[in-house]
Structure 1
Amino acid sequence: MNLKKILTLDLLETSIRIWTAFFIFIYGMSKSTQFEGSKLVDISIKDATEFEMMWAFFGTTKEYPIIIGCLQIIGAILLVFRKTKLFGAILLTPIFINIILLDIFYKIHFGALLNAIIYQSVFIFIIIQQRKRIGEVFKILIIENDKKISIGISVAKFVIAVILATILFFGFQKLSGYI
């Protein structure tokens, strides 16, 4: 048996994906109870630390952490399988960038920040490994579709889209009472 054929970058990626998915799945499952009772009832807002403020924010509603947890669970499951790993990495990236920023700005324990950075690094690694496929998708969506439409038609469609977007913007502003 040839050890070089077994110990490949693909094997390393698969191992890291499964390891990351395991922890993210656990984090996602715990979101339903993670912030229970985390409200600022015993101290005033001016006396609360950044950590207590953030924790109280997430403890205010049960639904928001559960939605984030469900997305983490779905992303973790997608990471496990070779054919869905890219979708999982793309789904989890904004969630973990948000977690990293919250950990930094609200002074969450350094271990939590380090974990989030490591997991995000795995997502970036997966995305980099799939760069050729991503390039193919962009080529199909952007380059090949533009060849079939003349520049004049493309400009006209863009102008019409901007006009419709403006009408929608002001229409919703009017409906919501901002205008």
Structure 2
Amino acid sequence: MSKRDLKDILEWACVLVVFTAMMAYGLGKIVQFNYEMYADKTLRELTPMQLMWAFYGYSLTHAILLGIVEVLGGLMLLFRQSRVFGAMILSGVLSYVIFQDIVYEVLRGALFAAIIYLLLVQIILYLNREKVIEIVKSLLDKRIQEKSSMNIFLKIFMIIILAGIIKFLEIQITHKNILNF
């Protein structure tokens, strides 16, 4: 067995484990959270984990969007052309899940599972490190190549003016309720 064969076996094993987990967790978000279960309790009566579940149950859109990103990231792992991008997406999503699991004191099994999936995603990225390096270089090279002919001070001045206009509009919309939502 060649080194390439071993790399492929390791990569596909990682892909399949993460893919199945993301399908289960992502699709499960549709039915997993139930706000009504905690509706008759005060906040002080809820454990941190119950509070998180109540939050997800109340804002089901948030849970469903997170689930969609998990499913899409998992699906992207199945195809070589999108694997690195899917792994990058899942790195962010799983980091967010781990953060929530720690903050809301979710069961250790769920926390450890998320950590394991994140480690597997990092292995996938490491095994595809040439592509990752190529992506990072292409992003950095374009920034270097796209040097503006505009004077830097004029550019900074225009950025500040535009940011001020945007902030003014944001305040008008959010604080004065001019859109009447």
TM-score by length of 1: 0.84
From 143, 166, 169, give the equivalent of 1:171: 169
Match of 1:12 among 10, 18, 27: 10
Alpha-carbon contact 2:52-2:104 (below 8 Å) kept:
yes
**Aligned counterparts, 1:96-135, within 5 A:** 96-135=94-133
CA distance in 2, matches of 1:42, 1:30: 24
Gaps of 5+ in 2: 177-181
Q: How far has the Cα of 1:53 moved from its partner? A: 0.7
Does the C-alpha gap of structure 1 residues 145 and 113 become closer, same or farther in structure 2, counting only changes over 3 Å? Answer: closer
Percentage identity across aligned positions? 28
CA contact 1:39–1:55 (8 Å) conserved in 2:
no
The one-letter amino acid of 2:128's match is Q
- Matched residue SS, 1:43: coil
Matches within 5 A, 1:1-179: 3-4=1-2, 7-147=5-145, 149=147, 153=151, 156-177=154-175
SS of equivalent to 2:81: coil
Structure 2: how far apart are the matches of 1:153 and 1:135? 32
Number of residue-to-residue matches in the alignment:
177
**Partner AA of 2:14 in structure 1:** I
8 Å CA contact 2:26–2:67 kept in 1: the answer is yes
Report deviation, 1:51: 1.1
CA contact (8 A) 2:7 2:127 kept: no
Question: Structure 1 residue 156: deviation in Å?
Answer: 4.2
Q: Structure 1 stretch 127-136 or stretch 81-90: which is displaced more? A: 127-136
The whole-number CA distance in structure 1 between the counterparts of 2:129 and 2:4 is: 23
CA distance in 1, matches of 2:131, 2:160: 31
Question: What amino acid does structure 2 have at the position aligned with 1:67?
Answer: L
TM-score for the superposition, normalised by structure 2: 0.83
With over 3 angstroms needed to count, the CA separation of the structure-2 counterparts of 1:44 and 1:25, relative to structure 1, is same
Q: Which amino acid aligns with 1:30?
A: G
